[in-house]
Amino acid sequence: MSEKKIKEEINRFSQIDSLDVLLSEIKMTEMVTVYFSEYNDCHSYSIYCALVPSALINHCLSHISWDFSQGNGYPGVIIHYENGKEIAKYYRFGNDTGIEPLIIDRNFYDIRPKYKEICEEFRLFHNLYHDSRENKFIKINEDGNEELIATIKQPQIQIRLKELRQFIAVKDMHLLIQFDFREYSQYKLEELGLAKGGNERREGLARWGLFYGEGDNICHYNSFSRLLGKRFIEPLPKERSGIWGFSEEQKNMLIL
């Protein structure tokens, strides 16, 4: 293998470019990828978001594993025991952690087509119109202007940051962006000058780990790298959220 090819593979395996994108600063007017899924022989990429109570942030950042799995978030009953007595309790999102889904997977056992939807509370909170033909969500302002807020277009779902930060502000929550990126190679780690294993890192409201591993007789690759982690997006301060009832300007208007 040429020296150039080795450098290209090491660069791809280091996932520096992917990490830069995942941790980059997002402007208020930009769209945030809240769901992404892409698989092929060279890589597999997954992004999945959830809403986390602000009080749980430090706990979630104490590890790199995901705090909310895709497919969870349905209403359901949890059974627990108190003094040997079985107690069944209903939970709106099927868990007692307080973490809520932002994207909901709808699956009908292949009898009907499966699809994904943005949680109803977010859509109603911003009074979004669903353009079903293009599968996008639009906010219509009082002056009649339209703004694109969200799009659902495989393999990703995107929502504008401003509306997300307004939403989590009134809910006292943070937006959790979880990612699991894997790169596969036909070359062995030894050929790439890499060793099995990896390390973790925390920086501000983000935590991630990069790990290298080897394939086996079943796998179609000889080595892989895995970038696993998460980052949090903070809510807007309520007084600067622009939401009626919290905005300082609106409060001053009421006083006058």
According to the model, what pLDDT value does residue 252 have?
54
What pTM does this model have? 0.92
Over the chain, what is the mean pLDDT? 93
pLDDT of residue 246: 86
pLDDT, tens digit, for every residue of 133-192? 999 999 999 999 999 999 999 899 999 999 999 999 999 999 999 999 999 999 999 999
- What distance separates the 2 farthest-apart alpha carbons in the chain? 75
Per-residue confidence (pLDDT) for residue 253, from 0 to 100: 46
Neighbouring C-alpha atoms within 13 Å toward the C-beta of 60: 27
The pLDDT assigned to 216 comes to 75
Give CA–CA dist 180/36, Å, rounded.
10
Q: Which of 129-133, 205-209, 241-245 has the lowest mean pLDDT?
A: 241-245
Q: Which of 30, 41, 97, 37 is nearest to 70 (CA)?
A: 37
Pick from 66, 243, 241, 98: nearest CA to 173: 98
Number of domains the chain is built from = 1
**Are 67 and 230 spatial neighbours (Cβ–Cβ below 8 Å)?**
yes
Contact 177, 165 (CB under 8 A): no
The rounded distance, in Å, linking the Cα atoms of 9 and 192 is 7
Residues 6+ apart with CB under 8 A from 221: 41, 184, 185, 186, 215
Q: What is the pLDDT of residues 101-113, one digit of tens each?
A: 999 999 999 999 9
Which residue range is the domain that position 228 belongs to? 3-255
Residues 30-40 have pLDDT tens digits of 999 999 999 99
Q: What is the pLDDT of residues 44-77, one digit of tens each?
A: 999 999 999 999 999 999 999 999 999 999 999 9
- How many helices (H) and strands (E) the chain has is answered by 7, 15
